[in-house]
Structure 1
């Protein structure tokens, strides 16, 4: 067995590998860029080596720097994680030449499957069902348009060396194909150093289901069930689960056997994933094989009980698999929610900054029988950088069945505190509460279909609005009691706390509820009375200053995040984000007469929607622009974002230039 493993990666996957290595008694080495000097994986490892500037193309994907770190520390094996150099055949070959074990598949398998064009040809020869498309390289945008037209729209434009949603675009017409080709090519070059592009037919209303394979160096190859990965945004997975709610046993077996056949065709060993697109009739088509550990591997581990990282290490060390296909049994249900530093209220644009609060839910076995797991690479007080992938953590839940796993996830998301940056926690909570998700009716178009106008938070139904109103009254009561106690201590005369209030709930500045209520407090709780309903029992142990507390409303337990915003109380629960103003009846009456301050007019400005680097400006001062015309391109967190004109206009002034780093809402272009 290895004595020391270097992890050629960062963030949560580096931490994940370190945990298993430590469990196995193997020493670990972390590498880090200048931006990651204080990162969690650096402190967790036994040793850490700096490898250069923040951009990954100057640090994490520079093979020579990783080899130097290996030589300096005496590591005898390398785990690449995912992304970066994990599917780089040249890196695996360089390790082999240096006598260092690569904890992954053989070089030839990486070469064969890493090239999406070659992999599809091999898959077809191995009897694996494949998607129709143009498997040869495409030279320019015009050729992309011609090929797309011949295949028939919609088509998927993909980077040959791609992965993780990078370098992928759906084209519905010639204009999309032309622009998508260039954007995919740019992203592919920046992310993988390889700008080769191919095109295949886009299967409408598809499910994305993948098979986990595992093989040793002695000829044994197994499949460990499937993962449903259909909840995606911009081809990047957001929520995954195992098993799939769609597959039957016959389809699972057929997909698994084809995945194993493909792995054997290229002499594959280690952990790998064969991805399929599945239509509504359970017809499945090969997409690609990822010759590495997948981001979503925890859900497979939770339903099989198999530590995939440990198996990768043992296989790389030459050990045989200790189990057979008949021993692989899927137990219960697991769900993974990816927590991203992306602001769902701003069309999921990247967000950077300091994590002023980062408090995940307690991991392990819960009173309900569910299990919570959180794979993360950050900590409270740490920085989220613009240089890397926006993923903060992978929150996973396991339970006996799918409904229980979803319920456990909803509760865990309620208890997850993240402040200081924009993040997608409320969006994840919203999906968990949707009837369509809970029924398992999933496709890769789920997000665009369920949130066609973007995400603006969950607007509470009347029942939920009243629950939040009760909580606001309880919080206000505690604040009023404290104020009365303080004033009474100073004046020797304590004032009485009022019972009658008017509560106004608002979402994104728009009123959602405005009702008078009466609070009847008691030693063991309280009752809140609305004018048209029976009293609702209410109790909590919340104290001023607490940001998360359990509230009991009408016999139901709700874990709610609580903050003060001026004189208002901010409450967040199940994707709802409301401001509650609890006022006396007279003050509420006067407040309704106050004018609403209008927001500043930015309609003649193109503002940077995210922190990022301007990679191109497509217009100049004096240019006439049309609606939909490309104005500028911003790159952030490894993704290229094209900014387009919303309407016709004339450019008055261009304030930014290519290569410039901008903050959120910083001016790029001003119009006349």
Structure 2
């Protein structure tokens, strides 16, 4: 649009991508958000320093702070978002619920008044009826939200939500509402101008969540019919008109299995998942926000809005799905997302990101790395494109959730569109342990790994063979071990397309496949054609083989000569050290509080300590009955992953 931009940044974001991309950048303080991004004076001072005409507040921090919008207005600076009245009315969850009820919008039962303390929270929770959702009034992005099923969880949830709300939004007000079991989370995108025109741009399904934070979004919803979509859209527009809404915003609903929908909240800002709406409507929401802010009329009517095709968004997070999605920090030693643009099957790949290879993921902010989006003429094409894009997404140096996303996209329930906000808890009740590959996939990966090993050995032989009196023979047969599965791979041919005959330890006949790879030692992404069909996966070198990751599966592959394969069964297996008597810090973070003392006897499930990382508080609990023998950390301590917090002894 030809508009010059100014970035503000904290110490932690000094080298951030948005700082490099902007025309100008202004430093606004220390890394902690409550000392930089949440300080209104510092933002306004940056505006004055640079002579900026307007402020786009982004997704979080001050984006739904009515006082900030008012202060900008007083300074003669345009706030690229709704008018302050709408921010006040809808940005506060308690006020917005009352307005929704007055407007005749269906709402979830709950207590809209402020809650004084934990005892008050327990009384209200019993009155509403468990389970309940404890929520920060000024919250968003899953921050300041807890589900409580009993009095103890209500007390803990109130305290944790209040702390998170204060740290993330500078507002610790809490309210409680009924938690609708087996719900779907579906939201309506609205768009308005300063001339009274408001339209809706279809819906987004955001039901795949963990810790009340969205992980996968899609548009449209595979669940809604035209009648329900129209009804939800009409109520959303009516609510927006009630507060003279004049920008992009989102009205969120809980929808039950019978398509009854209940108003949840309104986000008076751009949503993280806005790209899927842009992909199915062709409307650039950020551009429309800017045009609305400078007084232009909407260039379209409701009749002009057409939903075309299907779009998916994967939130790529710096978190370890194999450790209960605990945040991960560190340097991105490799960051190579899939190429954006159109594909041969008509699909489109889009990647919105704020990081770069060599950059750091800090502990101070939300752990999202990128939003990988795909579009297709139908859901099946969009889904296939997403699978392919995740297969080739190279991300190393930190823990990340790509394996989990891959497992979800291959899950029967997701493919059918049979999803609720309880999907993750229902399908992975003991945590995500990785997907299980079928025998056919395992055999293909074994064949490619054998060929990779053959390429490595041939390269080594060529190097050593160039030396005087050095010759080295590379065998044509390799033994491949993946867990309890064993294969014999006979490789035919010298270069290019190779024939591999795979024989396992079953009674089934050997299988012949044509395999082509252009992989070289040192590359982590393996692109292969097996019988002319692409198979892409990630492999890291390990002793005698590779650590392989493919479609949510993670395992070690051993490749040996037939002689070494026969001897391998006699080798001792290293036993991992016993850490059952230790409470280890599961992520880099700050100890908020230690809840026990030396000598205390703790029971299975008892809360022991609270660790804060990336604006989220995590309660660590005992795994069995024991006595606390030593405490090695205190409130305020910064701990690394696996640092010892306390030790136990048997009772």
Normalising TM by the smaller chain, what interval? Answer: over 0.9
Match of 1:483 among 453, 460, 473: 460
Partner of 1:29: 6
**Partner SS for 2:206:** strand
1:561-576 maps to which residues of 2 (within 5 A)?
561-576=538-553
Match of 1:473 in 2: 450
Deviates further, 92-101 or 513-522:
513-522
Q: What is residue 313 of structure 1 aligned with on the other side?
A: 290
Q: Are 1:606 and 1:668, in contact at CA under 8 Å, matched by a contact in 2?
A: yes
Tell me the SS of whatever aligns to 1:486: helix
Shift in CA distance, 329/492, structure 1 to aligned 2, threshold 3 Å: farther
What's 2:129 paired with?
152
Residues of 2 paired with 1:573 and 1:619: CA distance?
42
Aligned position for 2:502? 530
C-alpha separation in 1, matches of 2:629 and 2:547: 40
1:139 aligns with 2:111: no
Contact 2:496 2:517 in 1 (8 A): no
Q: Indicate if the aligned counterparts of 2:334 and 2:395 stay in contact, CA closer than 8 A.
A: yes
Distance between the aligned counterparts of 1:669 and 1:262, measured in 2?
A: 52
Spell out the pairing of 1:430-445 with structure 2 (5 A cutoff): 430-445=407-422
Say if 2:238 is the partner of 1:266.
no
1:108 aligns with 2:108: no
Of 274-283 and 584-593, deviating more is 584-593
Corresponding residue number in structure 2 for 1:255: 232
Q: Give the Cα–Cα distance (whole angstroms) in 2 for the partners of residues 468 and 524 of structure 1.
A: 18
Is residue 518 from structure 1 mapped to residue 495 from structure 2 by the alignment? Answer: no
CA offsets 1:453-495 (integer angstroms, 9 cap, x no match): 1112222110110011011011011011111211211145543
Distance 1:490 1:570 in 2: 32
Deviation of the 1:64 alpha carbon:
0.3
| CA-CA distance at 1:222 after TM superposition | 0.2
1:357 and 1:524 mapped to 2: Cα distance? Answer: 28
The TM-score normalised by the length of structure 2 is 0.98
Check the 8 A contact 2:632/2:646 in 1, yes or no: yes
Question: Is 2:400 the partner of 1:423?
Answer: yes
Match of 2:626 among 645, 649, 663: 649
**C-alpha distance in structure 2 between counterparts of 1:491 and 1:433, whole Å:** 53
Match of 2:340 in 1: 363
Aligned partners of 1:564 and 1:570 also within 8 Å: yes
Provide the residue aligned with 2:440 in structure 1.
463
Compute the displacement of 1:192 (Å). Answer: 1.1
Whether the 8 Å CA contact 2:447–2:502 is kept in 1: the answer is no
Cα drift, residue 566 of structure 1 = 2.9
Is contact 2:489–2:501 with CA below 8 Å preserved after alignment? yes
Which residue, 232, 235, 243 being the options, matches 2:220? 243
Deviation at 1:177, TM superposition (A): 1.2
Cα distance per residue 1:284-305 (max 9 Å; x no partner): 0000000000000000000000
Q: CA deviation at 1:554?
A: 2.8
CA contact (8 A) 2:544 2:560 kept: no
Q: Partner residue of 1:78?
A: 55
1:572 shift after superposition: 1.9
**Structure 2 Cα separation of the partners of residues 562 and 133 of structure 1:** 50
The SS at the match of 1:441 is coil
Unaligned 5+ residue runs, structure 1? 1-23, 506-510
Task: Report the CA distance shift for 1:184/1:540 in structure 2 as closer, same or farther (over 3 A).
Answer: same
How many Å separate the matches in 2 of 1:51 and 1:493? 63
- State yes or no: 1:120 paired with 2:97: yes
- Range with greater deviation from structure 2 (441-450 or 484-493): 484-493
Q: CA deviation at 1:512?
A: 4.4
State the Cα distance separating 1:524 from its structure 2 match.
4.2
1:231 aligns with 2:203: no
Determine the C-alpha separation between the residues in 1 that align with 2:495 and 2:16.
47
Larger mean CA deviation between 362-371 and 60-69 belongs to 362-371
- Work out which of the residue numbers 511, 515, 525 in structure 2 matches 1:548: 525
Corresponding residue pairs, total: 644
| Partner SS for 1:287 | strand
Of 534-543 and 512-521, more deviation after overlay is shown by: 512-521
After superposition, what is the alpha-carbon deviation per residue over 1:365-424, rounded to whole angstroms, capped at 9, x for unaligned? 122211110000000000000000000000000010001101000000011000000000
Which residue does 2:506 correspond to in 1?
Answer: none
DSSP-derived class of the 2:485 partner = strand
Say which SS state the counterpart of residue 537 (structure 1) adopts: strand
Tell me which residue corresponds to 1:12.
none
Structure 1: distance between partners of 2:106 and 2:142: 22
Name which of 259, 268, 280 aligns with 1:303. 280
CA distance in 1 between partners of 2:176 and 2:598 (Å): 37
Aligned counterparts of 1:597 and 1:36: Cα–Cα separation in 2: 42
CA distance in 1, matches of 2:161, 2:496: 61
Q: Report what 1:354 is aligned to.
A: 331
Question: Which of 59, 66, 72 is the aligned partner of 1:95?
Answer: 72
The RMSD of aligned alpha carbons is 1.1
How far apart are 1:523 and its partner, in Å? Answer: 4.4
Give the alignment's TM-score, normalised by structure 1.
0.95
Please report how far the alpha carbon of residue 89 of structure 1 lies from its aligned counterpart in structure 2 after TM superposition.
0.5
d(CA) in 1 for partners of 2:511, 2:41:
72
Q: 1:166 aligns with which of 130, 135, 143?
A: 143
Q: Which runs of 4+ in 1 moved over 4 A?
A: none
Matched, 1:404 2:381: yes
Shift of 1:570: 2.3
Q: Distance in 1 between matches of 2:426 and 2:605?
A: 22
State the match for 1:9 in structure 2.
none
Contact 2:465 2:472 in 1 (8 A): yes
Checking the alignment, whether the CA contact within 8 Å between 1:470 and 1:553 is kept in structure 2 is no
2:511 and 2:272 map into 1 onto residues whose CA distance is: 49
Residue number in structure 2 paired with 1:21: none
